[in-house]
Every structure is written in structure tokens, then in C-alpha cells.
């Protein structure tokens, strides 16, 4: 092994990695922050239309998804505790549960979007083009925000799958768990954003 590689391997700074993840979360918050800003501006202008638009969304599906994400947030936090307490089996179960909840969330999203598409309500469709400005903006925001959020769910799932494999092969253990810690932080971010998306899109009827 050359010196060059050794130079970079010997350095380990878990607190630094975690700080890095937090900073990345700040970036993500501002990324969604831009969208929330667009939402606030248009809602201020088209208050009534947003109100009507949200009637088209199913509060039940939204609530189920909220619960799924909150639950998964707890399970991933428990997985971290389990790894720290050297309970590998429980950790695997908890990460597995988190992934399951993520899948439930995406499935619901699929049903929801599918129904909208079925009714001809999707960006660029004739129905969308015929809407007045407020409704159009509401549904544009709905598709864009939930779409971007779903994309983050998928990224989070990939990250947590990697964590699952590494816990299984003991690469993540009670001495080295910063990867799982960062994966969990990312997952909580996804949850945090949904906590705001849910009332803003579903509950303004």
C-alpha cells in the first residue's frame, strides 16, 4: 500500500463527518426553501384557488403517508441506538422496517399520482392547460414539490440500503457507526420536509 493512500485512510473524524452531513442538510433545507417561498408567494395571491385545489387531494392518503414517515423516522433512530448497543439483529429489523415504510410511502404516492394522471390532470395535459392561473399554479407546485420529495425518498432508500448491507457485514458496528448516523439524519430531513408539505398541500381546504 502506498503512502499516499495511507495518508488519507489514517484520518478519521466522526464528528467532522457528522458536521458535514448537517451542513448538507442545511443546503437541502434551502433547496426546498426556494420552493416553499414560491408556494407562499402564490398562495398569498391565489388564496381561494389554492383552497379549492387542495380539495382534490385525499387527506386520508396524505395522513397515512405522514404516519408512515413519522414511524420510519422513529425506527431509523432506534436502529442507531441498536447498533450503539451492539444489538445487530434489532438494528437490521429496524432498518428493514424503515425501508418498508418508505416503500409504503412511494406506493401511496404512485396511487395518488396515478389517479390524477387517470383524470387527465398532469403537467402539460389539456385539462391542466384549461385551468385558471391559481389552480394551475397549485397543481404545478403539487407535482413539483411532491415529485422532488419522492426523489429524496428514493435517494434515502438507496443510502439506507447501503447501511443495511454494512450493518450486516459488521462494517457498521458500535465503534464505527457514523455512516448510519448520517443516513438517519438524511432520513429525518426527508421526514421534516414532509411535515411541512402535508399541511401546506393537503390541509388548506
Partner 1 sequence: MSNKNAHAVEHSGTDYMLLGKILVLLMFFTFATITITELDFGTLTLTVALLIAGVKSYFVIAYFMHLKHEGLLLKILVISVFILYILIVLITLIDYYYR
Partner 2 sequence: MSNGVGKVEYVSYLEHKGKYTGIMSWLTTMDHKRISLMYMYGVMTFFFVGVVLGLTMKVEHLTPGETIMKAQTYNGVFTVHGIIMIFMVVIPGLSAVFGNFFLPILIGGKDVSFPKLNLFSWYLYITGSILAVVSQFMKAGPPDSGWTFYAPYSSSTGTSVIMATTAAFILGFSSILTGLNFIVTVHRMRAPGMKFFNMPLFPWSLYATAWIQLLATPVIGITLVMLIAERLFKIGFFDPALGGDPILFQHLFWIYSHPAVYVMILPAMGAITEIIPTFCQKKIYGYKAIALSSLAIAGVGFLVWGHHMYTSGMSENARWFFSLLTFIVAVPSAIKVFNWILTMYKGSIDLKPPFLYALSFIFLFIIGGTTGLLLGSVATNVQVHDTAFVVAHFHYIIFGGMGFAFFAAIHYWLPKMYGRMYNIKIANIAAVINFIGFNILYFPQFVIGMQGMPRRYYDYPAEFQPAQIFSSIGGFILAFGLVMMVWNLVKGARSGEKAPDNPWGGSTLEWTLPSPPSLENFDEAPVIKENPYDYK
8 part of the interface to partner 2, by CB under 8 A: yes
Question: CB of residue 56 vs partner 2: minimum separation in angstroms?
Answer: 17
- For the bound state, the minimum distance from the C-beta of residue 11 to partner 1, rounded and expressed in Å, comes to 10
Minimum distance from residue 17 beta carbon to partner 1 (Å): 11
Count of residues engaged in binding partner 1, rule: CB under 8 A:
50
Residue 108 is a binding residue for partner 1 (CB under 8 A) = no
The smaller minimum CB distance to partner 2, of residues 5 and 55, is found at 5
Count of residues in contact with partner 2, rule CB under 8 A: 45
- Give the span between the Cα atoms of 183 and 20, in whole angstroms: 12
**DSSP readout, the chain?**
--HHHHHHHS---HHHHHHHHHHHHHHHHHHHHHHHHHHHHHHHHSHHHHHHHHHTS-HHHHHHHHHHHHHHHHHHHHHHHHHHTT-HHHHHHHHHHHHHHHHHHHHHHHHHHHHHHHTT-STT-HHHHHS-HHHHHHHHHHHHHHHHHHHHHHHHHHHHHHHHHHHHTTSS-SS--HHHHHHHHHHHHHHHHHHHHHHHHHS--
Name the binder of 55 from partner 1, partner 2, none, CB < 5-8 A by kind: none
> Are 79 and 95 in contact, with CB atoms under 8 Å apart?
yes
Question: Which residues contribute to the site for partner 1 (CB under 8 A)?
Answer: 12-16, 19, 22, 26, 29-30, 33, 36-37, 40-41, 44-45, 59, 63, 66-67, 70-71, 73-74, 77-78, 80-85, 174-177, 184-185, 188, 191-192, 195-196, 198-200, 203-205
Question: Which residues contribute to the site for partner 2 (CB under 8 A)?
Answer: 2-8, 10-11, 13, 15-17, 19-20, 23-24, 26-28, 30-35, 37-38, 41-42, 45, 123-124, 128-129, 132-134, 136-137, 140-141, 143-144, 148
Amino acid at each position: 500500500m502506498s503512502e499516499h493512500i495511507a495518508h488519507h485512510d489514517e484520518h478519521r473524524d466522526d464528528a467532522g463527518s457528522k458536521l458535514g452531513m448537517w451542513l448538507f442538510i442545511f443546503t437541502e433545507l434551502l433547496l426546498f426553501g426556494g420552493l416553499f417561498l414560491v408556494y407562499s408567494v402564490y398562495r398569498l395571491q391565489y388564496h381561494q384557488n389554492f383552497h379549492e385545489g387542495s380539495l382534490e387531494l385525499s387527506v386520508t392518503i396524505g395522513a397515512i403517508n405522514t404516519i408512515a414517515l413519522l414511524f420510519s423516522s422513529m425506527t431509523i433512530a432506534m436502529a442507531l441506538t441498536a447498533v450503539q448497543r451492539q444489538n445487530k439483529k434489532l438494528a437490521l429489523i429496524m432498518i428493514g422496517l424503515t425501508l418498508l415504510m418508505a416503500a409504503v410511502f412511494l406506493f401511496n404516492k404512485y396511487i395518488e399520482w396515478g389517479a390524477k394522471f387517470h383524470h387527465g390532470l398532469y403537467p402539460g395535459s389539456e385539462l391542466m392547460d384549461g385551468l385558471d392561473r391559481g389552480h394551475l399554479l397549485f397543481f404545478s407546485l403539487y407535482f413539483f414539490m411532491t415529485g422532488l420529495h419522492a426523489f429524496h425518498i428514493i435517494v434515502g432508500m438507496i443510502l439506507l440500503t447501503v447501511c443495511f448491507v454494512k450493518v450486516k457485514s459488521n462494517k457498521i458496528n458500535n465503534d464505527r457507526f457514523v455512516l448510519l448516523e448520517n443516513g438517519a439524519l438524511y432520513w429525518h430531513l426527508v421526514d421534516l420536509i414532509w411535515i411541512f408539505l402535508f399541511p401546506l398541500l393537503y390541509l388548506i381546504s
